[in-house]
Structure 1
């Protein structure tokens, strides 16, 4: 999908974060990878249009994967808040999302994000 509107990018981001999280939990990496590509496209579009802050409300959503991706996208703008969100997930989630949150924290601290 070629993104042309900010609202479409935000909706695509949310939809694909949820879809990718479900795919990872089910072990369906083909769907997960396709969704991740759409997530990256949304982030790039929102950054290019100076609208990345529209993802901030997703830091407080229930879906862990949505929170992780939002924190990753916003970590340079809201590092304290995003690190707290990621640490909370890392401390409370026993599955793939806890590990993913730990990896995002590590990659950020190592300067790779």
Structure 2
């Protein structure tokens, strides 16, 4: 055994198996990290739009793919949201587009 690894690819779109011989462990770990990063970016970073409604004193967040909205009224939660998006209330006068960094619209599963 020479300590190297080879990634064998099955038919396109199917699972990828890992077997010895071929590429180095460093290359293998880089490929695995790329796969994990691609899954993370695909699954959670979806586009949103947000703005501050001055008449109702609420921050409105719109999830673009589904059309669902969330209204944040609690000042501490508004501050947390603004810190995460590096924005101020004045900047939220108009509609701002970004990605869902706080996973506000992520489906949460409860395991028993």
Give the structure-2-normalised TM-score.
Answer: 0.23
Larger Rg: 1 or 2?
2
Q: Output the TM-score relative to the length of structure 1.
A: 0.23
Give the structure with the higher percent helix. 1
